[in-house]
Amino acid sequence: MKGPRAKLAGPVPVRILRATQFHEFVEQIVDWGRQGDVSYVPAMRTQLVAARTVAEELVQLAADPEPATGEITDIGGPREETMPGAARLLVQSRGNHLRIEETDDWVAGGSDAALPDPGAKLAGPTFEEWLKAG
C-alpha cells in the first residue's frame, strides 16, 4: 500500500488534504516548456487554487479540536480552466509576448488528472483574480 491510504492505515491518526495545482505553479509550467519565444504547455484541464487558500484550509484542519479520523479532504479552485488558458493569462498580465502552444507530451494520468474529486471544497480566488491582485 502506498500514498495517502498507507498513512491512513498507520498508528498515528491523520488528516490528508489533497489540492489541485496551485496558481503559483503556472509560471513554472511556462518556464519548463519554454523554447525561445514559445512555451509548450500541457493541454490539461485543472481547477487552479491559490497556495494561500490551501494553507488556510490546512490551518483549519490542524486547529480542529476533534480527533483526526483518517479522512481525506480535497480542495480545488472555484472553476475549471485549462493550463494553456492560464498560461496565456499569465504572460499577458506580465506584458510578455511569449506564445503559448498546447502539447499532449506532458499529460500524465490524462487531461483530467488535475481536476478535484467530486465533493471537493472549491475556493477562490480564480486564477485571473489572483493575477490581478498581484
The alpha-helical segments, DSSP class H, found in 10-97 are 25-32, 51-63, 83-93
Angle of helix 83-93 relative to helix 25-32, nearest 10 degrees, comes to 90
> What does the alpha-carbon distance between residue 123 and residue 53 come to, in Å, rounded to a whole number?
7
Domain boundaries along the sequence of the chain: 16-133
Give the pLDDT band (50/70/90) at residue 102: very high
Let me know if 13 is exposed, middle or buried by CB neighbors in 10 A (0-12, 13-18, 19+): exposed
At residue 133, does pLDDT exceed 80? Answer: yes
Distance in angstroms between the alpha carbons of the first and the last residue of the chain: 41
pLDDT tens-digit map of 1-31: 566 666 666 777 888 999 999 999 999 999 9
CATH of region 16-133 = 3.40.50.720
